[in-house]
Amino acid sequence: MNDLKVLIQREKIAERVGQLGADITRDFAGQSVIFVGVLKGAAIFLADLARQVKLDSTFDFIGVSSYGNRPSPSDELRSGWDSTGEVRLTKDVDQSMRDKNVILVEDILDTGMTLTYLKKLLLGHQPRALKVAALLDKPSRRKMPIEGDYVGFKIPDEFVVGYGLDYAERYRNLADICVVPRVVVPKK
In this structure, what are the phi and psi dihedrals at residue 161, rounded to the nearest 5 degrees?
A: -135, 165
111 binds ligand IMP (CB under 6 A): yes
Task: Tell me whether residue 110 is one of the annotated catalytic residues.
Answer: yes
How far, in Å, CA of 103 to CA of 181, rounded? Answer: 32
Segment interacting with ligand IMP, rule: CB under 6 A, options 7-15, 49-57, 95-103, 154-162: 154-162
How far, in Å, CA of 105 to CA of 33, rounded? Answer: 12
Edge-to-edge strand list for the sheet holding 159-161: 5-8, 177-180, 159-161
Which residue, 44 or 165, is less far from ligand IMP as judged by CB?
A: 165
119 binds ligand IMP (CB under 6 A): no
Q: What is the DSSP secondary-structure string of 56-119? A: -EEEEEEEEEE-S-PPPHHHHTSTT------EEEEE--SS--TT-EEEEEEEEESSSHHHHHHH
**One of 108, 122, 133, 178 touching ligand IMP (CB under 6 A):** 108
- Beta carbon of residue 66, minimum distance to ligand IMP (angstroms, whole number): 8
Q: Within positions 30 to 89, which residues make up the interface with ligand IMP, using CB under 6 A?
A: 41, 83
**One of 21, 37, 112, 127 touching ligand IMP (CB under 6 A):** 112
Active-site residue set: 110
List residues near ligand IMP by CB under 6 A: 41, 83, 106-114, 159-161, 165
